[in-house]
Amino acid sequence: MTTELTVIVLAAGGGTRMKSKTMKVLHPIAGRTMIGHVLAAARATGPERIVAVVGHQREQVEAHILSREPNAVLAVQEEQLGTGHAVRMAVEAAERMSGTVLVAYGDTPLLTGASLRWFVAEHEASQGAVSILSGIVDDPFGYGRVLRNDEGDVEAIVEEKDASEAQREVREINSGILAFDAEFLLGALPRIGNDNAKGEYYLTDAIAIARQDGLTVGAYPIDDVMQTEGVNDRAQLAKMGAELNRRIVEGWMQSGVTVMDPATTWIDADVVLAQDVTILPGVQLLGATKIGEDAVIGPDSTLKDCEIGAGARVVRTHGELAVIGAEANVGPFSFLRPGTELGAGGKIGGFVETKNATIGDGAKVPHLSYVGDAEIGEGTNIGAGTIFANYDGVQKHRTKIGKHAKTASNNTFVAPVEVGDGAGTGAGTVVRRDVPPGALAVSSGPQRNIEGWAQSKRAGTAQAEAAAAAADERDVSHERTELGNPG
Ligand code: UD1
Ligand code: CA
């Protein structure tokens, strides 16, 4: 039989050292908020309930927590009177608790579900009243120290400010993550006082209380102490962000992704990569981006919430909410805006911007174009420098181009307009009316040359001189031709 588990996440503190209008635990790391990482780790323990203790800027924090964990119980701690008081608020908010209660903090973004599962298993196997997830560190400054007796049994946790010289030498620290037998916790909380250096209700006093009652207490050092490290300022935010990214990139390399330059590759926690993906230097894969097998991304590309098909090639591209088909080609210098869908084997080429555009299998928009609010059929080729004029100044309209159409360079499609299957256009055409299937649309009138224009209207300029010289040259060669001169 498995023991019922409750996870309490403490997130009421202000985080003033972030110097931010955004609450500390809502700052993002690897595409999730800090508390988002902790909630994911909590979820991975398969708990009966998750209770989050909120206080500072609680409207913001509560809404975010519920967006990630709709069933979370929210406990409000109006004043931050200490971790013991915070857990008391959690116990009061959750109507009942039995089995095991795990306490964690909302600002430890590297924490994994696997570590929490291991710790809970150790705690439950010990049948103790309290277990401490501890760590052995070189610089224990600021942490609560784990005090053991001569037999090595845990006696208490003493906080930095309350510790003696000798106690401060102890290098085994309290990570802050504690596991309790629920029944013991409920009885111990009211017995915790605030007669200490900070005048706070220390949750850590529960350890000495358990010992007074003759109950078992254990401390389990975690090898990977960084997992329990909190973020208090922006320098730590960057340090932990880089470390989490290093771990994520390393993990993908272990599962068969080639990363040419891990130092310039950023991959968010929720990104999914298939085997044999290759990532070239300077790539950011963000949000819920998914990359298919054998695709090559980069160099220098940012893809957020994009889906890239197997074998596709994406070079120097900025994309958001775009879907790229298998074996398709994108870039260099392409801007894929939301709603871009490129079919298998298609192409979005250099200096092309797309938005709300469905481009069919094998269809190509190779050069210097804007494709907005459009549907382009399979096998169609759009000429260089084409603009899909989707906006009439008031409303957006759609353009539909059929299959296997060939439109020429420098066209403007004035939406709403439709071009039929197999149709074509001439260079420079402004397409304002529908083009039937198979028709060729041309809109510019016949070309008219006004002879000698430069010489008469730009007299005295280099342009006029060049024109005059070319005209003389032409006259001479005409005379030669007329005389039948072969040279
Ligand atoms: C706490 C531990 C210490 C441990 C350290 C690890 C206690 C008394 N001390 O110290 O042993 O080594 O964490 O980082 O538990 N919080 C609330 N409400 C409160 C107080 C705190 O929600 O009233 C939250 C904070 O937002 C924070 C966490 O609890 O996420 C820890 O609080 P903090 O004040 O930073 O505790 P420390 O002094 O670091
Ligand atoms: Ca802290």
Q: Is the CB of 159 under 6 A from ligand 1?
A: yes
Neighbour-count burial for 387-421, b at 16+ CB within 10 Å, e otherwise = bbbbeeeeeebbbbbbbbbebbbbbbbbbebbbbb
What's the pLDDT at 2? 83
What's the pLDDT at 485? 55
- CA atoms of 84 and 105, how far apart (whole Å): 13
Atom 32 in ligand 1: residue holding the nearest Cα: 83
What separation in Å is there between the alpha carbon of 71 and the centre of ligand 2? 27
What's the pLDDT at 480? 74
Q: Is the CB of 86 under 6 A from ligand 1?
A: yes
- CA atoms of 14 and 25, how far apart (whole Å): 9
What 3-state DSSP class applies to 90? helix
Indicate yes or no: pTM above 0.75: yes
Q: Is the CB of 11 under 6 A from ligand 1?
A: yes
What 3-state DSSP class applies to 200? coil
CATH of domain 5-228: 3.90.550.10
What does the pLDDT look like over 110-150, one tens digit per residue? 999 999 999 999 999 999 999 999 999 999 999 999 999 99
The active-site residue out of 56, 367, 397, 404 is: 367
Residue 429, judged by CB atoms within 10 A of its CB (0-12, 13-18, 19+), counts as buried
What's the pLDDT at 487? 46
**Domain segments of the chain as ranges:** 5-228, 257-441
What does the pLDDT look like over 322-340, one tens digit per residue? 999 999 999 999 999 999 9
**367 catalytic, yes or no?**
yes
Question: Which numbered ligand comes closest to the C-alpha of 200?
Answer: 1
Q: Which parts of the chain register pLDDT below 70?
A: 1, 481-487
- CATH for 257-441, among 2.40.70.10, 2.40.160.10, 3.40.50.2000, 2.160.10.10? 2.160.10.10
Atom 8 in ligand 1: residue holding the nearest Cα: 202
What's the pLDDT at 426? 96
Cα 142 to Cα 163, 169, 170, 333, 420, distances in angstroms: 10, 12, 12, 49, 72
> Best substitution site from 53, 83, 205, 225 to test ligand 1's pocket, by max atoms within 8 Å of Cβ?
83
What separation in Å is there between the alpha carbon of 410 and the centre of ligand 2? 61
Q: Is the CB of 147 under 6 A from ligand 1?
A: no
What's the pLDDT at 474? 85
What's the pLDDT at 259? 99
Question: Which numbered ligand comes closest to the C-alpha of 175?
Answer: 1
What separation in Å is there between the alpha carbon of 176 and the centre of ligand 1? 7
What's the pLDDT at 83? 98
